[in-house]
Chain A
Amino acid sequence: MRDIWVIAENLPWAAVLIAGAQTINKEAKIVAFVNGGESEAKGAIAHGASSAFFLPLPANAIWEGYVPALAEKAKADKPALILLSASRRCRDVAAQLAALLDAPCFSEGKGISVSGDCVSGNTMVFGGLAAKNASATAETVLVTMGAKDYEPASADASRSGPVDTLPLAGNTPAVTARKPKESQSVNIGEAAKIVSVGRGFADQADIEHARTLARAIGAEVACSRPIAEFFKWMPEECYVGISGQQIKPQLYLAIGISGQAQHLYGVRDAKTIVAVNKDPEALFHQNSDYYIVGDWKEVIPALLKAING
């Protein structure tokens, strides 16, 4: 097989994409392009790339300015596959590269397999309601992938390979400021246990009951989109769903969340899902491992009693 490229938002994600490339084809040579400096490029080699390019975030321009150089190189090198982080910058790069190469691109492709020149895989449609299985035969096929789609191999510092960089296009849009987010005290992406709240909570103050339960079982608190985006009762980083966080905790305890496809998509990889909803018809029940039909005002105290007693 011809080379597989990985283009990544950061080194940990590059390691995941490299593991993906090795899963798809063990023999292919992997060329990595990583946002960062020389040490990130060397890190990609330690994780299994044969050679690597570092693409530092320009201080005064957008990172997507590497697209023309990447496209020129892709046209010359003709990689069979280009795997990219499904991050904002890399998704933009993926689509621009795909257009410049007149190539197909799987967005958040799952189960990617290659047979001869034909690449197949799944993408989700209608907010996670269904998976579309599609195939494409092309010189180069692009795929964006999630940050946890594959288990990265541990780094082998003894590996070596050539490291280089690429030029930024001259007419790249200017960046006048970067304002980091205020530091978040929670990282629901890493939490093993999550208690999540939805519109079944009619008042912001009521969320405190969910927090009490979360503390009792050592969980973080997340929410559905309306709680963060419309009511702004919780920070945006806390909402789970197709346009929010996609997480895979050991336990996802959904309280007062109806269970729309867009929300379920964010927890489809959770090990165990528990739903609590007073509506017996709530979609979440049929998509849970265990469910209790009941009002959280009764269920949360009962759970606390069961934990403590």
Chain B
Amino acid sequence: MTTTPVEPEALEAAFEATIARHDRIEPRDWMPDAYRRTLVRQMAQHAHSEIIGMQPEGAWIGRAPSLRRKAILLAKVQDEAGHGLYLYSACETLGVSRAELTELLLTGRQKYSSIFNYPTLSYADVGTIGWLVDGAAICNQVPLCRTSYGPYGRAMIRICKEESFHQRQGYELLMTMMRGTDAQREMVQESVNRFWWPSLMMFGPPDADSPNSARSMAWGVKRNSNDELRQKFVDMTVPQAEALGVTLPDPELRWNEERGHHDFGEPDWEELAAVIRGDGPCNAQRMAHRRAAHEDGAWVREAASAFAERAGAR
């Protein structure tokens, strides 16, 4: 192939100029290695989260208490497989294959969102995950539709459209249960109590402890700081909780007239660190499930490749 020599300074300047005018970087553009590394890490972690995230809710498909809920839940978990697939595809535009990323997940060298290491203990958790966990995810993800890397932004636009349905179905399930029996109302409150703090942790550590944030923001890979997004989520969720008729388990939670925001308590960052380290309630179980699916499927993937090769040779 014929290449036109271009000076490194010129490449870097072109990259910076694209970022500065809020235009998109596309796969064939030159980009700093650190930018590419950050993107791959972030997109892969997001993809892994979608795939691992199928498990806590997927565990309830077989036990969904109505056929309508079963259909909604199955379609939702299926969407998550789709989201993982879109994001792996976005990674592949940077030359990292899905097989490589799967390997990195299964060997523990890449992470997924800590929230999926918490167990789901009742059907109300399906609603709470939709409302709080998907709600937090949407806060994180909507700004990423404008991220500087083209394929990532396009994947996120597709994903966000579907996520908004996910959040609504969760909230609607909880609303319906709150109109049901006393036992159902208790289930909802108990579930919200368990998921509130882990949901706040989904935004990551406080800004002061988030070393990569500043550079990611300068590159337009990230659009808002962890604390900004966390505050936005709390402000958005409080009135929803009131409408639902549940309490959020934080005695420090109150409206601050002066700031125009809600004040809220500090999540247990030790717990977050432990879950990320692999000491969460379900880390081992989630990884074992994923590994088993991957290994059990190896002979199928091989068979299809062998069949295609033979058919191609004929």
Whether A and B are associated in the same complex: the answer reads no
